[in-house]
Chain A
């Protein structure tokens, strides 16, 4: 959603004078200042709630920092929780660039995980890199087909994608449970029905020097790839044009149907890959824990990142850090686990509210400086 600045003198090769520099900084400072100020305001609001409950906001934010960001252990904790949110966020952000609201990522994660686990156990005698690649492909194919179908239904039958996505998420989770407890169940998994465990060699390990699994790196890479796709390719250009107004795009002759199906399939592939990583890096098998809410948190991540794939990275880290600190806060301050939900809800309402502030401050809008002077 960044606006292209057509009169940037730097692009025309002119020397930047002081005023131009200042204008450049002012434009870029606007989102940073607004987001930072709204984060602060949200935290302030939350502090008021704590004060009314006779709890110390200072202690709360000290624990939040210590548990989520303040030490190498906490940073690794935060990054481990960030990993699945990156791909789950992409699953919402990509279709959203076309104006589609798909909230069914949870289902694609579950099915991607099951497909990956089934592939992994079918190929268990093959060399490990091959197995991992096949699992990733299987997960992406399953997720891609699932969300891609939502796109196809939208384009060819005009079925509202928000509803079909939600319905299909419930169906996918039922299907996963059915497969994990029925046809794909490992008979040795007695009281926790699961697929056959992956051999250690076929699992995804930690990034050297950390205990964060490679899923983090994969997620960040996918965010960059998605950004390149949207900003630099003709497909991304077409998507940006159609975004928000598919009817107009169709009139302009853009291949709207292909765009919708492709973007949905890519989004589903991201979610399916998320499920595959959960299986290969965390659980070692597919089971009911695959449906643990990452798909729904992904909606929040994408909207806070304003559907910008690169902004998903810091947003997911912020959410990961808050999640990492949640336990410490619960234990130390004797606050319920829902405290973190309340904090997130308050802060995000304020941050989203602050969207209205863009362009309202004289200091950030150089176009208006001259008029006033």
Chain B
């Protein structure tokens, strides 16, 4: 209790200091009249991937009136991100922050949120629970549906019935994407398999290229991935004549002839909703999630090389998913060791919390989680 009070008093002092700092910054013409919103990225914001998807969302916010957007890229998941958030608050008067990397949340966003109760923090990743500070929150998108759609197109395009997936780490979000991709393909042809290679890092160019080559050596002819920057995987696979499905952002310009479609974030929807609410003085939701139906995610336009059958199934499935209530993970479902992981009749909608602790690869995925 006493600790809490000391905390508050300290915050009061900091608030005063922040006020002084803000007035000292009078040189910035727009500072007083607008709301300052900070975006923090873990990598370069033009990486053709995770960070670019968020930066495109930030760009949409910049167009709103009464808003000043400040951005900082390549902020590691260390004490650096705490200091970046504090610096945005103390030195630039930011009142709403979007720290976008998954690893920022615990402990860094939580620390900053309890230290600065007047500032709103919304973090990408869906980790917030009601035990966490009320001025913090989470948003995330159900992108598994788009990976399923990637799989549908891949299932029509593959001749060898072997797909490939370059993944960073065997964590639930990635496993869900791998499983969704294969399940989509198996909805076309149940004999299709998917080989997966984990690179162990979110961004490591040479290893991603090696992984793509190793997959192609196995006879894989459609590749997708879940790494921060899919550029290398897309280019390597396309250069060897395989088809690719994108992830995070639109990578079509990198390989127009080989790029089938892609699972993309649509953060502009999320950020604009938050910021409009914030400008109107309404409380921000602590927890927001959405999929295709809510416009949180989208697919890259289907490439012209896709045959009509693929196009029909892709569009029909997408329409069905966009209505909401579609379950990709539905029983009976076995993992790739033969154990029944989802009994017959049971199904998990994309909102199901069970999917957030996924720890298996479904039957047909060649690979293991160490």
Contact = CB atoms under 8 A, between A and B. Distances in A.
B171 A191 contact: yes
B171 A81 contact: no
Interface string A60-75: 0000001100011110
A289 B107 CA distance: 12
B102 A192 contact: yes
B164 interface: no
A80 B370 contact: no
A327 interface: yes
B357 A190 contact: yes
A289 B103 contact: yes
B78 interface: yes
B90 interface: yes
Chain B CB within 10 Å — which of A177, A282, A327 has the most? Answer: A327
What's the interface size class on A, roughly?
20 to 34
A87 to B, nearest CB: 14
A73 B76 contact: no
Contacts of B86: 73, 77
B273 interface: no
B189 interface: no
B21 A327 contact: no
Interface in A314-336: 323-324, 327-328, 330-331
A193 B172 CA distance: 10
Interface string B85-102: 011101110000000001
A282 B78 contact: yes
A249 B84 CA distance: 49
Interface stretch (B66-74, B240-248, B275-283, B343-351): B66-74
B78 A193 contact: no
Interface in B158-201: 169-173, 200
Contact of A331 (B72, B79, B125, B171): B72
A202 to B, nearest CB: 14
A114 to B, nearest CB: 16
B59 interface: no
B77 interface: yes
A143 interface: no
A330 B73 contact: yes
A81 B357 contact: no
B356 interface: yes
A327 B87 contact: yes
A67 B103 contact: no
B75 interface: yes
Given A177-B200, A192-B102, A80 B79 contact: yes
A284 interface: yes
B23 interface: no
Interface string B318-355: 00000000000000000000000000000000000000
B91 A66 contact: yes
B312 interface: no
A181 B370 contact: yes
B304 interface: no
A292 interface: yes
A77 B74 contact: no
Contact of B74 (A191, A282, A337): A337
B370 A324 contact: no
A77 B83 contact: yes
B78 A73 contact: no
A147 B107 CA distance: 30
Contacts of B80: 81, 323
B254 interface: no
Given A191-B125, A327-B72, A289 B169 contact: no
Contacts of B71: 331
A182 interface: yes
B170 A181 contact: yes
A327 B172 CA distance: 32
Contacts of B78: 278, 282-283, 289, 292
Interface string B106-144: 110000000100000000010000000000000000000
B206 interface: no
Contacts of A72: 17
B292 to A, nearest CB: 21
B17 A324 contact: no
Nearest to A290: B78
B102 A67 contact: no
B70 A331 contact: yes
Contacts of A66: 91
Chain B CB within 10 Å — which of A77, A178, A191 has the most? Answer: A191
Nearest to A323: B80
Given A72-B17, A192-B103, A282-B79, A330 B72 contact: yes
B90 A191 contact: no
Interface string A182-201: 10000000111100000000
A182 B370 contact: yes
A192 B127 CA distance: 11
Given A81-B80, A182-B370, A71 B103 contact: no
Contacts of B72: 327, 330-331, 337
Interface of A: 66-67, 71-74, 77, 80-81, 177-178, 181-182, 190-193, 211, 278, 282-284, 287, 289, 292-293, 323-324, 327-328, 330-331, 337
Interface of B: 14, 17, 21, 70-80, 83-84, 86-88, 90-92, 102-103, 105-107, 115, 125, 169-173, 200, 356-357, 370
Going nearest first, the 10 A-B pairs with the smallest beta carbon separation are: A289-B77, A191-B171, A331-B70, A337-B74, A327-B72, A77-B83, A73-B90, A327-B84, A292-B76, A292-B78
10 contacts: A72-B17, A73-B91, A191-B171, A191-B172, A192-B105, A193-B171, A282-B107, A287-B103, A331-B70, A337-B72
Given A73-B21, A282-B107, 5 more contacts: A80-B79, A181-B169, A192-B103, A278-B78, A284-B106
